[in-house]
């Protein structure tokens, strides 16, 4: 009887861990998608939603989740397509693309600075009290 209860607890815990892992992965992907949409919008890209089957089919033909140049008649347009999650595409001109590059560069610098600050704080904690720092 005790073994059955223990097995049920183990199965329950493993199921809970699996669900949490899947949720965490989905949250990370959604967070990255939202970050990209914010960057593109801030840079001046315009969002177009695939609200018809033909538009969705057109978006699916484009390279996915990357900003790529596309000739539209005599002008160059930069397009970011996401047929899977938002079923949309963002389009911007050269000015919007240059602003997007600056924003992504600034974001990368901010992320690098944040990581370096965390590493510095960790090193400081490790040297301040080496008797307990790594053991916690």
Residue-wise DSSP of the chain: -HHHHHHHHHHHHHHHHHHHHHHHHHHHHHHHHHHHHHHHHHHTPEEEE--SHHHHHHHHHSPBSSEEEEEETTEEEEEEEETTTT-EEEEE-HHHHHHHHHHHHHHHHHHHHHHHHHHHHHHHHHHHTTTTTTT-
Q: Is-above-0.75 flag for pTM?
A: no
Rounded Cα distance between 93 and 76, Å, is 7
Q: Name 95's Cβ contacts closer than 8 Å, sequence gap at least 6.
A: 44
Name the percent of the chain lying above pLDDT 90: 51
pLDDT tens by residue, 25-72: 444 556 677 899 999 999 999 999 999 999 999 999 999 999 999 998
In which region does residue 71 sit, left (phi positive, over 0), alpha (psi from -120 to 50) or beta (all else)? beta
Q: Which residue has the tokens 């397509």?
A: 81
| pLDDT number for residue 18 | 47
| pLDDT number for residue 20 | 46
Question: Which residue did the predictor score with more confidence, 3 or 80?
Answer: 80
């Amino acid at each position: 009887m005790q073994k059955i209860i223990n097995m049920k607890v183990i199965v329950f815990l493993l199921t809970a861990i699996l669900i949490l892992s899947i949720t965490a992965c989905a949250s990370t992907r959604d967070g990255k998608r939202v970050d990209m949409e914010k960057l593109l919008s801030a840079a001046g890209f315009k969002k177009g939603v695939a609200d018809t089957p033909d538009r969705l089919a057109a978006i699916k033909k484009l390279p996915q989740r990357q900003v790529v140049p596309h000739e539209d008649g005599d002008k160059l347009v930069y397009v970011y397509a996401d047929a899977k999650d938002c079923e949309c595409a963002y389009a911007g001109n050269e000015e919007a693309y240059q602003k997007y590059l600056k924003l992504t560069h600034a974001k990368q610098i901010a992320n690098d600075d944040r990581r370096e600050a965390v590493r510095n704080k960790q090193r400081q904690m490790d040297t301040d009290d080496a008797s307990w720092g790594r053991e916690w």
